[in-house]
Chain A
Amino acid sequence: DQQVKQNSPSLSVQEGRISILNCDYTNSMFDYFLWYKKYPAEGPTFLISISSIKDKNEDGRFTVFLNKSAKHLSLHIVPSQPGDSAVYFCAAKSSGGSYIPTFGRGTSLIVHP
């Protein structure tokens, strides 16, 4: 039973356009959300996070939006660059439960020049 779902296994975008990666969760106890980026043959690296007291967090070209009522978050990359091509994992944690994150299955983003 997946508590964190990334329903799009892959996404293809043109360079310079916006990339939108989506993530849905089912556990209403989750209150902290993270995005990780993973290049081939490397470990995942932390990208950006958001707590449930916010609905938006921005860091340069990366913005994460949180819609608590819909249990949905999205990662926006603007503008997309070929170097953004990677697998993106969504993860969620609960401050009231285990500190260990639950990961989605990942979305492979390809940005075409």
Chain B
Amino acid sequence: DAGITQSPRHKVTETGTPVTLRCHQTENHRYMYWYRQDPGHGLRLIHYSYGVKDTDKGEVSDGYSVSRSKTEDFLLTLESATSSQTSVYFCAISDKGGSYNEQFFGPGTRLTVL
């Protein structure tokens, strides 16, 4: 199994509070991604990183920011959490940017915003 951990695994927070989710990898993979999974929507890309300090937006980036100061860590921040951000968040990694490779996913973080 690829060495990917996510923390926390579960979090309950209140509307308007800041939240940071952490993804940590031990594979030294260049590419890292944040997805959210919601019923009826599958996996939707929030942000991704193609190197240290190199990040870009995905299809559902509004309300989220990311940072990557080290190869192994990719942080997802909700500056002011809203109930619509209640979801399961998955981090993923890949070692190449080309087509012919797969992503490895972390175990997920279940976030509830009350």
A residues apposed to B, CB below 8 Å? 6, 9, 31-32, 34, 36, 41-46, 49, 51, 89, 93-95, 99-101, 103-106
Contacts and interface: CB of A to CB of B under 8 A. Distances in A.
Interface in B29-52: 31, 33, 40-45, 48
Given A42-B107, A89-B43, A104-B42, A99 B98 contact: yes
Interface of B: 4, 31, 33, 40-45, 48, 58, 90, 92, 96-100, 102-108
B83 to A, nearest CB: 22
A65 B43 CA distance: 23
A100 B107 contact: no
A94 B45 CA distance: 16
A44 B43 contact: yes
A4 B64 CA distance: 25
B90 A44 contact: yes
22 contacts: A9-B40, A32-B99, A41-B108, A43-B4, A43-B106, A43-B107, A43-B108, A44-B43, A45-B105, A46-B103, A46-B104, A49-B102, A89-B42, A95-B98, A95-B99, A95-B100, A99-B31, A100-B33, A100-B48, A103-B42, A105-B41, A106-B42
Nearest to B106: A43
A24 B60 CA distance: 22
B37 to A, nearest CB: 8
A46 B102 contact: yes
Contacts of B96: 99
B108 A42 contact: yes
Identify which of B45, B90, B102 gathers the most chain A CB atoms within 10 Å of its CB.
Answer: B102
Contacts of A105: 40-42
A43 B91 CA distance: 9
Nearest to A95: B99
| A-B CB proximity, top 7 nearest | A43-B105, A105-B42, A95-B99, A46-B102, A99-B97, A32-B99, A103-B43
Nearest to A45: B105
Interface hub of A43, A51, A101 (most chain B Cβ within 10 A): A43
